[in-house]
Structure 1
Amino acid sequence: MSPLPDCQTLLLELHGGVLHITLNRPDSRNAMSLQMVAELRAVLAAIRDDRTVRALVLSGAGGHFCAGGDIKDMANARAQGADAYRELNRVFGALLEQAQHTPQVLICVLQGAVLGGGFGLACVSDVAISDHKAQFGLPETGLGLIPAQIAPFVVQRIGLTETRRLALTAARFDGAEAQRLGLVHFVEQDAQALAERLDEVLQQVLRCAPEANAATKALLLASAGQPSSELLDEAAQWFSAAVTGEEGIEGTLAFMQKRKPRWAI
């Protein structure tokens, strides 16, 4: 296989045909920085055509999966203007598209924060296993922003009606509710049960032929219809307008200052 790229924000462990990818920025609850996005995309590209890699297991270090986008990257983009915000936003959509279409079976193990971009990653998994205490949500509107790149994948995963409720209330919910919504397939009570469920799923995946799985996954995705690149391009423009607008400025500033934004009652 092609050598795996060197990563500073990811831990990579390959054995038995399974590549374990751990998001490794625990101090920020594994917030998705531009560097992490680039490294994840490089890993997915490196193994895309390698059928000796049968499954990918994506998890997070430090008890959290992913708390969303990195506010520091947004602060850096502010000095560069609207185009920088659009590009910052769009690159995450490109990651979601790439992860959605990776030929390997993508399994997400979800603990702690599964918010924003982390929620999006869960929505492009083939199999999602959650701790019952995991906290899911789309917090963007509470920050004066929009879930621009994530929304089409969430709608595809759980349907328009529930996505409208979650995106327009920024409501948080646990693993049991995530299972009810169809976001996750399994909910477990502790770390040992999560590990046992993961082993069971991997045993099932490894009984399937890798080329057949890759072709079947492509067929299923094509049958369901896909979030389009054109829509995601337009959504990135909307995100840029939101983040540079009055609400986006107030919402992100309030987040960094650990206070409620002006509109919050």
Structure 2
Amino acid sequence: MKLPETQTILLTRDNGVLHVTLNRPEARNAMSLAMVEELMATFEAVESDAGVRALVLRGSGGHFCAGGDIKDMAGARQKAAEGDREAFFRLNRRFGEMITRANRLPAVLITVLEGAVMGGGFGLACVSDVALAAGDARFALPETGLGVIPAQIAPFVVQRLGLTQARRLALTGARFDGHRALALGLVHEVADSAEELDKKLAELLTQVRRCAPGANRATKALVLDVDQVPMAELLDRAAREFADAVNGDEGQEGTLAFVQKRAPSWAGDRD
């Protein structure tokens, strides 16, 4: 896989895992349009490379993402003042396209949440397959307090937390920490030190590497299509994919490894 050239994110590949670090620490990794485009290019590269087992998304400088970039908003306002009625629409919708792509990413998407997890950062947490959080991370949907709406984020918040909690958080702008995020079901594990957080991430990646890459991709697509595809059609597709998996290389290797009481070949995959 050829990684894109980037300026707002850092990319490092290691043993089937692509580490993506939001890298605008001076702005608490606020989501600029440039960052959105670089993430889109990165996701496109991952989609075409079955060797990427997981993508780990985190932020530099002690923060995950503080939301949208004020400079981009100001730029869109200037364009609107000059007669471009679609400036704000295009800016907001492009973020929606990025988060939708993140949601459907075939690789396992892991978010490591520290510091500010606001607005767009909150949305990214909601589309991750596994979310790890620092106990003192700060979560919020602050949009309505700024006179705007969480337009592209709200549907994913509802899917993650359910309608009742999504309504409360979006309509109050309530702030809460990582432990409360765990209780709400937003994140899966919490750590109270940087060392513990890194340890949990390492353990999680070990678990992911025990799973067959193709089986993981097919399983993720299957669960994401629940409520999107009629149930009978979905189960027919699942049965076909199960039969293909059983007779495929991964199914045969997994069965043989189980009988021989050894790790399957993919558990030791390296770049």
Q: TM-score range by the shorter chain?
A: 0.7 to 0.9
Give distance in 2, aligned partners of 1:49 and 1:212: 16
Give distance in 2, aligned partners of 1:145 and 1:196: 38
Cα RMSD, aligned residues only: 0.9
User: Paired residue for 1:138?
Assistant: 141
1:215 aligns with 2:218: yes
User: Paired residue for 1:233?
Assistant: none
Aligned residue for 2:19, secondary structure, equals: strand
User: Paired residue for 1:36?
Assistant: 35
Matched residue type, 1:71: I
Q: Measure how far apart 1:225 and its partner are.
A: 4.1
Give distance in 2, aligned partners of 1:112 and 1:195: 15
Q: Measure how far apart 1:76 and its partner are.
A: 0.3
Q: Measure how far apart 1:80 and its partner are.
A: 1.5
1:88 aligns with 2:88: no
Give distance in 1, aligned partners of 2:52 and 2:167: 37
User: Paired residue for 2:164?
Assistant: 161
Q: Measure how far apart 1:74 and its partner are.
A: 0.5
Q: Measure how far apart 1:224 and its partner are.
A: 4.5
Instruction: Report the TM-score when normalising by structure 2.
Output: 0.82
Deviating above 6 A after TM superposition, structure 1's stretches of 4 or more consecutive aligned residues are: none
**Count of residue correspondences:** 225
Matched residue type, 2:134: D
Higher Rg of the two aligned structures: 2
Q: Measure how far apart 1:136 and its partner are.
A: 0.2
Matched residue type, 1:218: A
Q: Measure how far apart 1:51 and its partner are.
A: 1.2
1:103 aligns with 2:117: no
1:165-211, CA deviations, whole angstroms, 9 ceiling, x for partnerless residues? 00000111000110111000000011000000001110000011111
The 5 Å alignment of 1:5-84 reads 5-81=4-80, 82-84=85-87
Q: Measure how far apart 1:34 and its partner are.
A: 0.1
Matched residue type, 1:35: A
Q: Measure how far apart 1:49 and its partner are.
A: 2.0
Give distance in 1, aligned partners of 2:38 and 2:86: 22
1:66-98, CA deviations, whole angstroms, 9 ceiling, x for partnerless residues? 000001100000121231000000000001110
Give distance in 1, aligned partners of 2:97 and 2:126: 14
Which runs of no fewer than 5 residues in structure 2 stay unpaired? 230-271
Give distance in 2, aligned partners of 1:188 and 1:87: 38
Matched residue type, 1:74: M
User: Paired residue for 2:132?
Assistant: 129
Give distance in 2, aligned partners of 1:204 and 1:224: 28
Which runs of no fewer than 5 residues in structure 1 stay unpaired? 227-265
Matched residue type, 2:95: F
The 5 Å alignment of 1:243-254 reads none
1:4-47, CA deviations, whole angstroms, 9 ceiling, x for partnerless residues? 00100001110100000000000000000000000000000012
User: Paired residue for 1:234?
Assistant: none
Give distance in 1, aligned partners of 2:33 and 2:160: 25
Give distance in 2, aligned partners of 1:210 and 1:35: 31
Matched residue type, 2:156: F
What percentage of aligned pairs have identical amino acids?
63
Give distance in 2, aligned partners of 1:87 and 1:216: 33
Matched residue type, 2:133: S
